[in-house]
Amino acid sequence: MAINNEIIFESNRGIIFEKTLFKNGRIRLAIKNKDCKKTIAEYRYKNATGLLSPYVNWENFNCVDGWVYDKSYLYTAVQKGKKLYAGIAFSIAKKDAFPDKIFPQGFYTEVEVSEIIENLSKNLPSDCILGSEHPDSERYLDVLRYFYICKIGTILDYIDMYDVFTAYERFGVILNKTYQNRIKKLCSIPINSFASEEHMDYANPKSVAEWIVTGLLLGFPIETTVSILSN
């Protein structure tokens, strides 16, 4: 039985995150399209306090490549200290070329992409890096251009791993030493290294440790990762 229901995030594109607390202490997070009331995705987890960090927030999770999001936020979140890494993809395909494929990032010409990247480069703070990213799929290589913006340094420079591990414990996810060591190792490499697949493919995590690091890298609330790891 639900005892509380609230909207914890609403985007400027009509996407809402609706959190429902049940009597048994569990939470259901439903991501919906406000216009059609359709549930796009659901996450379930224990009612607990998440990871408190300026680089973790629900607006970052809104940039998941599954629904339409605010591109201007993704272009500037790292510079504003709201996340550590932003992977940006521009579609240069004609809109009718892929009728069954959704490109939330929109459609651009090569010239438009070059202009956006040039403007971002001109206004880049000294603690940020902009570069080309290795695509997570060769399938759309001809129609997508991949870039990234990230903070200089490592994840460990910005997020305390003790805080991370204890936050996961609050949700009932106990990470053994093997997982902890792997997470610490990945979090100790330069953040811009995630633009390649040398250490891990952050867009396609393959283990508990990689899922957790991807969440930290992209600034997703750990509640979502907890839900994925627990189901």
State the pLDDT at residue 95: 52
Mean pLDDT over 122-149 rounds to 79
Looking at the predicted structure, is the pLDDT value of residue 111 above 90?
no
State the pLDDT at residue 103: 53
State the pLDDT at residue 116: 84
Instruction: Grade residue 131 by pLDDT with cuts at 50, 70 and 90.
Output: very high
Looking at the predicted structure, is the pLDDT value of residue 2 above 70?
yes
Mean pLDDT over 91-116 rounds to 64
Looking at the predicted structure, is the pLDDT value of residue 92 above 80?
no
Looking at the predicted structure, is the pLDDT value of residue 31 above 80?
yes
State the pLDDT at residue 227: 97
3-state secondary structure the chain: CEEEEEEEEECCCCEEEEEEEECCCEEEEEEEECCCCEEEEEEEEECCCCCCCCCCCHHHHCCCCCCCCCHHHHHHCCCCCCCCEEEEEEECCCHHHCCCCCCCCCECCHHHHHHHHHHHHHCCCCCEEEEECCCCCHHHCCCEEEEEEEECCEHHHCCCHHHHHHHHHHCCCCCCHHHHHHHHHHHCCEHHHHHCCCCCCCCCCCCHHHHHHHHHHHCCCHHHHHHHHHC
State the pLDDT at residue 36: 76
Instruction: Grade residue 35 by pLDDT with cuts at 50, 70 and 90.
Output: confident
State the pLDDT at residue 100: 53
Instruction: Grade residue 70 by pLDDT with cuts at 50, 70 and 90.
Output: confident
More confident residue, 188 or 143: 188
For 180-223, how does the pLDDT look when each residue is reduced to its tens digit (9 = 90+)? 999 999 999 999 999 998 899 998 999 999 999 999 999 999 99
